Amino acid sequence: MQSPPHFARIGTRGSPLALAQANLVRDLLSEAHGVAKEQIEIEVFSTGGDRSQKDNTTLSEIGGKGVFTKEIDEALLAGRIDIGVHSSKDVATGLPASIELVAFLEREDVRDAFLSVTVKGIDNLPEGARFGTSSIRRAAQALRLRPDLRIVPFRGNVHTRLQKLLDGVADATLLAMAGLNRLDEGHRATAILDPEHFMPAPAQGAIGLAIRKDDDRLRELIAPLDHAPTHTAISAERSMLAVLDGSCRTPVGALTLNEDGQLTLKGEILSLDGQTSFRAVAEGDDPIALGEIVGRDLLNQAGPDWLAQWAD
């Protein structure tokens, strides 16, 4: 007997966190439409970012954010899958023309978590301690507070980085609290950082769903999963990032507050050593316009001479 066709086909990376996110999307789709989970297929892809996990490489060196989505995007365009499930902070601002991020699940904790097996916080690290991260934003923010720290490259999925910390590769690291929570590893956090002082990456903590622009069926199926306040916040932050991406490669932080539909977007750019930084803030109800305002403000503050160092 021939099995019935799949209700939807999900594409995801193969890390434990990515699989947890894909399974969450499957559960929500199943519940929203009353279909068996078995009718929603999950297909795992190895992306370029997953295959380039050497600690001595940075994201910009291996091709930027797109290295975590390229293979999934290609499968989506080819009709092999229907939905790409992504950590939104890993999605490049310039998507392929025929692909659209149409929905975002309710955002998890946006904050970064400090982890160490020896000290309680970044202030307690000894002089010259090894700080493990391959995020230029986290490195810059840590160095702004503690310029004496020695940055140690630190790549891999969440469990790999936790093990490296236990193995003594570094004295401390930062991880997204959202990822720890989704893996039931929130108890690993030694301290949770104030997002006003350690601004998260734009779109951190939000799961984004991508489809082909012309796929009206999937657009309707996904619509019940979209969390409007999260969608609004991510739109503002990605709008800001789009303005910055055109001019520089620099550590970027963003924080969006939403009170009764009134948005406050805060943005930050830093030098790699954290010793130079610029901040901007704006309020309004149009997320795209708000992001553009904050992005342009940051560029105007930094000026062309400072920005020239980030040119390709």
Return the HEC string of the chain: CCCCCCCEEEEEECCHHHHHHHHHHHHHHHHHHCCCHHHEEEEEECCHHHHCCCCCCCCCCCCCHHHHCHHHHHHHHCCCCCEEEEEHHHCCCCCCCCEEEEEECCCCCCCEEEECCCCCCHHHCCCCCEEECCCHHHHHHHHHHCCCCEEECCCCCHHHHHHHHHCCCCCEEEEEHHHHHHCCCHHHCCEECCCCCCCCCCCCCCEEEEEECCCHHHHHHHHHHCCHHHHHHHHHHHHHHHHHHCCCCCCEEEEEEEECCEEEEEEEEECCCCCCEEEEEEEECCHHHHHHHHHHHHHHHHHHHHHHHHCC
- Of 47, 54, 132, 133, which is closest to residue 92 (Cα–Cα)? 47
Q: Is 226 a catalytic residue?
A: no
- Given 27, 55, 73, 90, which residue is catalytic? 90
Task: Provide the annotated active-site residues.
Answer: 90
